[in-house]
Amino acid sequence: MLYDCIIIGTGAAGVSAAINLKIHEKSFLLIGDADLSAKFRRAELVRNYPGLPDITGAALADAYLLHLQKMGISITDKMVSSAAVTKDRCAVFAGADYYESRTLILATGAAAAGTLPGEEPLVGRGVSYCATCDGGLYRGRDIAVIISSARFEHEVRYLAGLASKVYVYPTYAGAEFSSDNIVMMKSRAAAILSGEDGKVCAVRGTDGEETPVSGVFCLRESVSLSTLLPKLKVEDGRIVVDREMRTNITFVFAAGDCTGRPYQYVKAAGEGNVAAHSVIEYLG
């Protein structure tokens, strides 16, 4: 199916864009965490959301979820590993799935703290963001997984069923796996190393220890913008947009924290609204 729009991200910006596209009866896919963004829920008290003077982030997220439900909007709970644009189409890759649309709204939140040294040059040379897509390449081999959320733990278990040994570097508290071939690392991953063949050969931990592996899966809440859509104009980690939320790529729009400061719910929701209207205008 060719959608009118694909929205990547389920924070305030992505949800707001989805609501407006729904009202204008456009076909679209809203891709992201079905529980909304982890950041969304983290605020203990939100004091600057008009009309809701003392709401928590979690309560606000639940209100957004209820709004989606009431409008019959569902979330496709997947991580997008990459997107591509042709002359008049967008292609979006999420796990083993592939979707096409006429427009794209990027609502992926503020750029993650960054990729590891060695990570970006080794994408496709041992570094992967998709267990389902690339897990089979590492059957019987040793791999590492850098995991940022319990949301991806099932992917670690899946990889453990294929790989000989899985070294897990969690960046969140409480990660636990029972499989014999899963090794929980005590330090964090500090760098991904390559061998003479230019492919991944090891992960160096923050304790300096190097663990030899053939592949590294980076399972995070976001993918770096240059990996997500290489042609996108990004400055200082933020997507460059105009007042209509247009990026440098025709029919690709962006909204929310990913376009820069201030990092606020209302600004994100407002930009999601503008992006949706720009999509509607583009579609004609």
Q: Which is nearer to ligand FAD, 127 or 185 (CB)?
A: 127
Residues 6 or more apart in contact with residue 26 via CB below 8 angstroms: 4, 5, 279, 280, 283
Is residue 13 near ligand FAD by the rule CB under 6 A? yes
**The one among 28, 40, 64, 217 contacting ligand FAD by CB under 6 A:** 40
Interface with ligand FAD in residues 204-263 (CB under 6 A): 221-223, 228, 256-257, 263
- Letters for 69-88 (x = contact with ligand FAD by CB under 6 A, - = none) are ----------xx--------
**The one among 3, 6, 9, 232 contacting ligand FAD by CB under 6 A:** 9
Interface with ligand FAD in residues 103-162 (CB under 6 A): 107-109
**The one among 264, 270, 282, 283 contacting ligand FAD by CB under 6 A:** 264
DSSP label at residue 244: T
DSSP β-bridge partners for residue 75? 30
Q: What is the DSSP string of 84-137?
A: EE-SS-EEEEETTEEEEEEEEEE---SPPS-PPTTTGGGBTTTEES-HHHHGGG
DSSP β-bridge partners for residue 183? 167
Scanning 29-37, 182-190, 191-199, 244-252 for contacts with ligand FAD by CB under 6 A, the matching segment is 29-37
Helices in the chain by DSSP H: which ranges? 12-23, 38-42, 57-70, 131-134, 153-160, 225-228, 265-283
Angle at 253 between CA 250 and CA 255, to 5 degrees: 165
Q: Which is nearer to ligand FAD, 94 or 159 (CB)?
A: 94
Shortest distance, position 13 Cβ to ligand FAD, whole Å: 3
The DSSP bridge pattern shows strands 80-85 and 90-94 to be: antiparallel
Q: Residues in the site for ligand FAD, rule: CB under 6 A? A: 8-14, 31-33, 37, 39-40, 42-43, 46, 48, 79-80, 107-109, 221-223, 228, 256-257, 263-266, 268
